[in-house]
Amino acid sequence: MIATKAGASLLGDEPPALPRAAVLVTGASSGIGYATAIRLARRGTIVFAGVRRQTDAETIAREGGLNVRPLVLDITDSESIARAKTAISRASDVTLVGLVNNAGVAVAGPLELLPIEALRRQFDVNFFGTIETTQAFLPILRETGGRIVNVSSIGGKLAAPFVGAYASSKFALEAASDALRVELRPFGVAVALIEPGAVKTPIWSRSAEASLRIFDALPPAARSVYDDMIRNMQRISQQMEKRGIPPERVAAAIERALFSPRPRARYLVGRDARVRLLVARLPEGIRDRIVAAVVGSPPKPKREEPQKVAVSAKRPAN
């Protein structure tokens, strides 16, 4: 006699397979998102890889194999998010247990000269798009007791000059993640932040190209005020990108945040991230001098002492 499991027929048919664990990774076209999607797929997880273009979808599907299911997803487009949610909800063979909010852009340049449209674009992707995506998938994650992993940056702890827009969006993401972590605790949904330092990804070369286009359109008089400092910052950014850690290091931290029995609230990734966190905790005056020295910012002009005016006491007239 053949022992049957629940759901098996008397003829000895196998019961239906249990749904497999799935994770949605946004910004999976390149860099950290791409490395994360490939790493999770190789461990056996079904990965819904959010990409912006169909060509990227074809590439990651080819490289990731059958465990990668690409989705054309623009997190700044509400309809695109809704379509992605519908597609994942209809996949009856999987259970969504994780959301990795990785999609992001970097806008660089002096805050004085950045067009407001560029600043809004920075927040639309790095903050508002991330929050809207989280809102869309939270009902599913609440049911499954899933996890949310937000890819931030050490820039969300220490704002450097000329990347103030990017750092501001990451500071906002850090604050929202701290609030979400407590808000979702009663539902068993964990929220973790990934805080890498410099990473070898295309985000900074793309940012530099976009910034140059912005500054080329500015009047020479406005641009010349920051010319030397901008060139120095571009040189530092190129060095950081070359010396940065591989995105696979960050992907490993994301995997731990998703599947560790007790995930941490924050995962610092990279030696420079740890150094910059120490600098961030210094008194502001010391911190500012260190940051200015690193980026080659000119020293603060010395304040002139007010001239002393001699006042002669006059005797009142009789």
- The catalytic residue among 34, 166, 226, 267 is 166
Cβ 96 vs Cβ 23: under 8 Å:
yes
Write the CA distances from 32 to 74, 209, 251, 274, integer angstroms.
17, 20, 6, 19
Alpha carbons within 13 A on the beta-carbon side of 38: 17
User: Residue 202 contacts by C-beta under 8 Å, 6 or more apart in sequence?
Assistant: 30, 31
Buried-exposed string 180-209: b where 16+ CB fall within 10 A, e elsewhere = bbeebeeeebbbbbbbbbbbbbebbeebbe
Active site residue 166: yes
| 211's tokens | 């910034």
Known catalytic residues? Answer: 166
